[in-house]
Structure 1
Amino acid sequence: MISAAVLLSGCLGGGDGGVASPLAASIRYTTGGVPHIKADSFAGAGYGYGYAFAKENLCLYAEELVTLRGERAQYFGMANGYLGQFGTTFGNVDSDFFYRLLLTADQVAKTKAAASTQVQGLLSGFAAGYNRYLRDTPAAQLPAACAGKPWLRPMTESDAYLRVLQAAITASSLGFIGEIGSAQPPTASKSAKVATAAPVAATSAAYESSPIGQALSKIREHEVGSNGYGLGSDVTDNGRGLLLANPHFPWWGVLRLNQLHLTVANENYDVNGATLLGVPLPLIGFNSKLAWTHTLSTDNRFTLRYLALDPASPTRYIKDGQSVAMTAVPLTINGTAADGSVVPITRTLYTTEYGPMLMDSSFTWSTSAAFAIQDANLSNYKLMDQLLLNGKADSVDSLRQASATYMALPWVNTVAADSAGQTLFANYSVAANVSDAQLLGGCVPGASVGAPFDALLASTGVVVLSGTTAACDWRGAVPAADRPWVKRSDYVLNTNDSHWWPSLDTFLTGFRKIIATGPNAEGQLQNNRTQTGHAQVQDRLAGTDGLAGKRFNLANLQQVLVKTRFLRAERWLPDFTTACLASTNASAAARDACTVLQDWDKTHGMSSQGAILFQELYLALGELNAQSWWAVPFDPANPMTTPRGAANTAAALAQLETLVASTQFDTPQKRRTRPQDVQILVRADGNIAVPGGAKTFYNWNGQKTEVAPGNFIYTADPLTQAGAAGNSYIQFVTWDSAGPVAEGLLTYGQSSNPASPFYSDQTRKYAAGQWNKLPYTEAQIKADAGYSVVDIAE
């Protein structure tokens, strides 16, 4: 423990935060490099966190600021691109035009005007703290990735607001950077993306497989998701609440999470938790009486708009018999060519009353029809005040009231538990304010115009509304009174399915269809993690999970999580392997594979032979979502016990034959590959085998890469330019008579700088199944083995 404080520039105290300047903070570091910021104002808290954040993430965030400003083509080349937040690569030029079109000075002004004085101070302080670190750090001590680079520049207050605006549209417009940034009318471009045929010529399947369709599926199909448990007094050892926060987010880029603890005593704010890079308030966390987490919700935060164009011009559309002009937005960016020259690039993009135009190979902009996107979160100006208010809540009741105040949580459900033993599930997320009459009536184009969008809605949940009449218009978001929630004293959970089934005997029904459409609608098949989550609670309360007792506590909740159980395998594989081993048509390799799967323990444990083989078979079978794979199909009246048993075993065996003929599984040894053999994170100080399964409750999804002929691993950078996603920030929180008792970690560490001691320290703990204490009280913070203090002021 290091108790001496480092005092920087006029700071008035020895690490107690008792400073008079509005830009003053005490940064107390604990194990893992986690900063606990203590200040007398939110401006000071933002200042302290901005400094601590820049210390560990300077280059990563400096690059993101280039993205936000629409300057990537200038600094990183007009021919290059980058890996976006959902794993899609975007070109720098298209990205720059996207950001210049949507994240404007006007949007910044509106966000600032809507913000409280506390939030304004927080964001200006954050920028000042970031700049303080940049200003005070000698060039020789800056990280190699950005030292001396022309794009490493001070952060402005406007940049801070741009990041908040970007965060709000993460699960909506941000999925379509290329499709919005490149959208051009057919008369203005000869791009290969532009088709002259009407878009209705495409089939529903073509729309699903198009770039926009793929982006929609990434947003809607849990590729970025989370688990959350709120366990109440009826099921815990101590009669208090117990929370698991387990977001599954990318390990790269701006969706990385970062730990922080902000204490502003004068404002009754004291929250420890984690946030997205550049968002200077905890999104997930805990205070003295309440703990909460978030999971990606099923809400349709946006709708696509089908526009019937005026035959006289592809930049005009017909609405209620009148021709309406789109708004032309001429934009110019700078781009660096291969020879190093910087050239201006001009493009005119178009917006409508609904929002910007977008297009791809199926959602085309023809001479007769085109598409716009209407995003409710583009006018979400209260996100930061929502986070601030949530952090001040002291019970699940007050948290629900806080969430309903602004309705500004942009894309998440809330799962919470409090010290009194109550739990909450609430979906107070933003959803497009579309009525059931609009969604189920004539507003979804279908046979009337020869379009497949009604079929697309049923099969995928994607909402395309007609822009041809004001009767199909919507404004704002679904109000709090129409949102689903439940408070319980046993438990609640969510794993990115809809609100429908938050606890074993609770079903929330009758809510607006726009909240959960298509496969995510009420009463539909739940994902593997949802059923696993309920089964884990059932087995714990029955005492049949192999652990002592019949209630939850912090330690056994950790054990339940890391078991990495695969419930669908438990329910489907026995019948399949029996049929496989009895088949006279199965090859010797397939029979060997079935023996491996029969003997497998049905978990994605690191030493489990069969886990990788089943993971690939599961993906090949469409994650067993089709009812035809099951002997007893899903029954919404019995969601816990259905589906079960295997059907169509011959078709499944054919898929297995394909797998065992591939170079990944063409030997007995390869078929017995364990997760610890192939889930690899490359680090200079030694590679790390990463726990978790791609489709299991305890989740890690590395990118499959063939590193040598027939040698596959599941990894992340630097072996591949694709990223990994899954377990990120994990927290377990309960209470005793003295206050919160919390453990957890950030799986990829606090720092994105490979030279930092906090780059992979927590990853090694995660791999070893260890957890950090998450200190909250002054005594806990000062007693931490990693304690040190830096006081700053200006």
Structure 2
Amino acid sequence: MNTTAKHLLSLSLALLLAGCGGDDNDTNSEKTLVAFAPGGKLSAEIRWTDYGVPHITADNLQSLAYGSGFAYARDNACILADQMVKIRSERAKYFGPDKIAGSGDSAHLISDFGYLALKVMASANEHYPGLSDNSRALVEGYVAGYNRYLEETGIDNLDPACAGQSWVQPITAQELTAYIFATSQLASGESFMELAFFANPNDDDSYLPYAFNPAATASSQDVEPSHDKLLTGLRQNIRRQAGNFTIPDQEHGDLGSNGWGLGKDKTENGQGILLANPHFPYTGHLRFWQSHVTIPGVLDVMGGSLQGLPGIVNIGFNQNIAWTHTVSNSRRFVLYQLRLSEDNPLQYQYDDDTREISKQSYQIAMKAGDSTITLAKDYYYSHHGLMVETPPEMNLLTWSETGAFTLRDAAEENTDLIDHWLAINLAGNLTEFQQAYRDYDGIPWVNTMYADDAGNAFYIDKTRVLNLSDNALAQMRTDPELVATRAAIGFDILPGNTSVFEPDGLNSYQQAPKLLRPDYVQNSNDSYWATNLNELMSGYSILYGDDLAPLSLRTRMGLTLLSDSSGEDGLFNAGEVETALLSNRSYLAEAVLADLLNQCRAQGNEPVTLNNGLAVNIANACNALGNFSGVMTQDSRSGHIFKEFAFKFDQDRHFNRPFDVNDPLNTPNDLATDGSVLQAFAAAVANINQTSLDYNASLGSIQFTEKTLHSHGEANASGLRFPWAGSTHREGGFNVFSPADGDSTLYPIHQYPGVLDVESGRPLASGLSEQGYHLNYGSSWMFVVSFTDSGPSARGLLAYSQSSDSESPHMDDQNRYYSEHGTLRPLRFARQEVLNNTIDKRELSSDQP
């Protein structure tokens, strides 16, 4: 959306909001949305209730974000400080080239150069002046609040993870905007940093960083003698590391979320219910943070937000509506295969023209003992974007004499992100909610589920997807080579020598998959097509994901819960939704456990021989599995046996009955009887046998969360373990947890050495260790809100707690709550509830010291 239109829309929104509410004693008072604080005086009230949840009240957006930035920093200042180091491309400057010191992984170098190549900081500097008043007010207020906390507290007195560190500095509005741009590219450009780092038109080492001085080139390594050995070793490490570069994995695996919107035909009182169950990391910048933000009479919304998103709620509810998100199956990017000109690897054919591949050099500082060395590196761009390349041994995306590959990222320079979520926060009904998606293209990589007090249930995937022509989309669905490529690597590679595949901006609201229902909408990270089994969808852009395709076991579990968890009347109340969420059922166990037991019991003491010749006696494990209840509660015995089996289970090989598009919930099914299932089970048993874990152990005794305590860059186990219920995506669980480390942060987390798979020799995907399962990912900001005649009624939980500060009382209080109770807790939304449960209060003003 252009800048003028955004400013007009902000003004229109303010006019529409005039008179939309007010105090109980002044229902006719006019209220307008004010962006900047009058006279520049920022003022906000912050009340903290139980579990450290801040309720922030102000009269304008800038002041609201001021309070939000201050309250956020009290909980998580070190996380955003770390992200600013990332955005400034200064990780190598402060921490050296490697994420794991001395490992040679070169991760900090790749990150620093990568964010320069993505141009997030340069784009922020360029586009910040043109952001809407609302966006700039929120950014500037948040930055002021965050910096106020740093100044008041003193860097030496912060969380031990970053206390006294020189890299903790005040932040600027442009830097926060760059961080927002990078967050938008999380599932697109950021995923290609390694392949952009490797891209090189020459068949040599000229992709490697070189010492920078005015006369230096990639082949002229003029460098101080004291740094010569360092640079030589660095380049050797990068060469070795380049062999590990891989194409981005587009499979969600354990990553993702669940979301339900229930409408009037599915609820007891005829008003909506929303279930929000995002699965996100427990460390780093993808942690959620809970808050309640209010501008009296204009804005009153509670929910969770990703770190550093200023003063807005990403997943939450207000008086009339509720919404949640799940990671979309859409693809926010495509690759183009360029046809190069003869004898010139920096030119490519495009229709009847020849276009140039440009080169741009970037410089970073890298720690070298007590000093720094400046390194430079070259990156290359087509008119689509960054050039990318895989290492030669992959023989996939190579920059050859005739062809090369380039990335088109639909999520870059997302200037709509703040405005879009703000419009959602302000919406009071379905029409206003839908209008937010008509007006903005800010939601980068998530689906949306919605419910409201009128009993509407609505779904939309308006992620930032490129708008390709009908001709291009038809070829992408039917051309055998394009189809095979997408099936093989998980995303599209399109011909780059023709304008046929040139996008025309982003898809519009009209082009986005969406569904309005009176019963339900749902998503668990599969594509849009099975949002509701009573109204299957198809025919949208292939970039939104495959339609009429098999569903994941987790999606099938969610749909099963929708069908069988609402009691005898077939209608849900909020309690029944919460019970379904936390039931810890496993779709795979419900589908195959009985047959699996029959097969392994029939095997008796006769060993099962794996393909590598290892013979495994499964009798004792089979006997123990007979005690497994099929649900992953803390007291479930032998659940880890089934969990390891699930990670060996392959739907394509181990089900006899294939997928039937006319019965997507129940197919594929029927456990294979050809011996392959027993081999999978035997491999799982052999992996458990490498530990001292008892076959009959309860899940709660071996599955746990445990905080990491940081000090001076070191990560140490807290020693306090919280027993944990829940399953994984692979078991077809709904309430999902896993040991996955899915986030980019400089903070290491303590990890227990994992078991190596007896078949592949690689660490087990399940994360099994001698200690069991140390969880670091999964159900995070989860809540259930139901609308009633007296307003929203909500229960929720931030599973890993509000603060990352190891010295905060709110570092692990919600961990303890979930571990001990296994339920959600009341959310304090009504003003009187906030007043009755206030544990701390702060009047924050910019004119006070």
Contact 2:43 2:843 in 1 (8 A): no
Counterparts of 1:301-312 in structure 2, within 5 Å, are 301-312=332-343
CA gap 1:191/1:674 in 2 versus in 1, 3 angstroms: farther
Counterparts of 1:253-292 in structure 2, within 5 Å, are 253-265=284-296, 268-280=298-310, 281-292=312-323
Shift of 1:408: 2.1
Instruction: Extract unaligned runs of 5+ from structure 2.
Output: 1-36, 210-241, 609-615, 708-717, 742-750, 757-762
CA gap 1:538/1:443 in 2 versus in 1, 3 angstroms: closer
Shift of 1:81: 5.6
Residues 547-569 of structure 1: per-residue CA shift (max 9 Å, x gap): xx643222222211111111122
Aligned to 2:793: 741
Aligned to 2:655: 630
Aligned to 1:771: 824
Aligned to 2:217: none
Q: Does 1:532 align with 2:566?
A: no
Percent of pairs with identical residues: 29
CA gap 1:293/1:475 in 2 versus in 1, 3 angstroms: same
Contact 1:95 1:181 in 2 (8 A): no
Residues 31-89 of structure 1: per-residue CA shift (max 9 Å, x gap): 1211111111111011111111111111121111000111111011124469xxxxx98
Q: Secondary structure at the match of 2:675?
A: helix
Contact 1:185 1:366 in 2 (8 A): yes
CA gap 1:246/1:513 in 2 versus in 1, 3 angstroms: same
State which drifts further: 107-116 or 42-51. 107-116
Residues 689-742 of structure 1: per-residue CA shift (max 9 Å, x gap): 23321211001011496659899997799x999982211101111123322111
Contact 1:443 1:465 in 2 (8 A): no
Distance 1:53 1:315 in 2: 47
Residue type matched to 1:640 in 2?
Answer: L
Shift of 1:574: 2.3
Aligned to 2:814: 762
Aligned to 2:282: 251
Aligned to 1:610: 638
1:54 to 73, 98, 108: 73
Residues 125-161 of structure 1: per-residue CA shift (max 9 Å, x gap): 1111111111111344222222221111110111111
Contact 2:384 2:406 in 1 (8 A): yes
Shift of 1:175: 1.4
2:694 to 670, 677, 680: 670
Q: Does 1:732 align with 2:784?
A: yes
Aligned to 1:699: 736
Q: Secondary structure at the match of 2:249?
A: helix
CA gap 1:340/1:135 in 2 versus in 1, 3 angstroms: same
Q: Secondary structure at the match of 2:412?
A: helix
The CA RMSD measured in Å over matched residues stands at 3.1
Instruction: Extract unaligned runs of 5+ from structure 1.
Output: 1-17, 83-87, 194-208, 448-452, 544-548
CA gap 1:780/1:464 in 2 versus in 1, 3 angstroms: same
Contact 1:81 1:92 in 2 (8 A): no
Residues 260-289 of structure 1: per-residue CA shift (max 9 Å, x gap): 1211236x2221111110002111010000
CA gap 1:785/1:41 in 2 versus in 1, 3 angstroms: closer
Distance 1:577 1:181 in 2: 50
1:384 to 388, 411, 418: 418
CA gap 1:541/1:47 in 2 versus in 1, 3 angstroms: closer
Counterparts of 1:444-483 in structure 2, within 5 Å, are 454-483=483-512
State which drifts further: 749-758 or 467-476. 467-476
Residue type matched to 2:704 in 1?
Answer: I
Shift of 1:655: 2.0
Counterparts of 1:716-727 in structure 2, within 5 Å, are 724-727=776-779
Contact 1:706 1:713 in 2 (8 A): no
Q: Does 1:424 align with 2:458?
A: yes
Aligned to 1:488: 517
Contact 2:194 2:245 in 1 (8 A): no
Residue type matched to 1:777 in 2?
Answer: A
Residue type matched to 2:273 in 1?
Answer: L
Residues 476-499 of structure 1: per-residue CA shift (max 9 Å, x gap): 212211112111222111111111
Distance 1:187 1:792 in 2: 60
Contact 1:681 1:715 in 2 (8 A): no
CA gap 1:152/1:140 in 2 versus in 1, 3 angstroms: closer
Residue type matched to 2:637 in 1?
Answer: Q
Aligned to 2:705: 681
Contact 1:25 1:793 in 2 (8 A): no
Counterparts of 1:538-617 in structure 2, within 5 Å, are 538-541=563-566, 543=568, 550-583=570-603, 585-586=606-607, 589-617=617-645
Distance 2:343 2:478 in 1: 25
Distance 2:114 2:655 in 1: 44
Distance 1:246 1:754 in 2: 25
Distance 1:372 1:406 in 2: 27
Aligned to 1:133: 149
Shift of 1:514: 1.8
Q: Secondary structure at the match of 1:529?
A: helix
Distance 1:715 1:22 in 2: 51
Distance 1:81 1:160 in 2: 26
Distance 2:724 2:826 in 1: 21
Shift of 1:103: 3.0
CA gap 1:753/1:541 in 2 versus in 1, 3 angstroms: closer
Aligned to 1:402: 436
Distance 2:584 2:54 in 1: 31
State which drifts further: 228-237 or 245-254. 228-237
Shift of 1:117: 0.6
Shift of 1:389: 0.5
Q: Does 1:351 align with 2:381?
A: yes
1:332 to 349, 363, 367: 363
Residue type matched to 1:786 in 2?
Answer: I
Q: Does 1:780 align with 2:802?
A: no
Residue type matched to 1:244 in 2?
Answer: L
Q: Does 1:216 align with 2:249?
A: yes
Residue type matched to 1:747 in 2?
Answer: A
Distance 1:99 1:430 in 2: 20
Q: Does 1:341 align with 2:371?
A: yes
Aligned to 2:527: 498
How many residues are treated as equivalent by the alignment?
A: 734
Aligned to 1:94: 110
The TM-score with structure 1 as length reference comes to: 0.86
Distance 1:116 1:55 in 2: 28
Residue type matched to 1:301 in 2?
Answer: R
CA gap 1:615/1:257 in 2 versus in 1, 3 angstroms: same
Shift of 1:771: 2.6
CA gap 1:274/1:46 in 2 versus in 1, 3 angstroms: same
Shift of 1:675: 2.4
Residues 350-403 of structure 1: per-residue CA shift (max 9 Å, x gap): 111001112222323333322111011114211110001111111234312222
Q: Secondary structure at the match of 2:411?
A: helix
Distance 1:94 1:42 in 2: 37
Shift of 1:183: 2.8
Contact 2:333 2:466 in 1 (8 A): yes
Aligned to 1:198: none
1:752 to 792, 797, 804: 804
Contact 1:27 1:791 in 2 (8 A): yes
Shift of 1:636: 0.8
Q: Secondary structure at the match of 1:29?
A: strand
CA gap 1:716/1:275 in 2 versus in 1, 3 angstroms: farther
Distance 1:138 1:512 in 2: 52
Contact 1:296 1:411 in 2 (8 A): yes
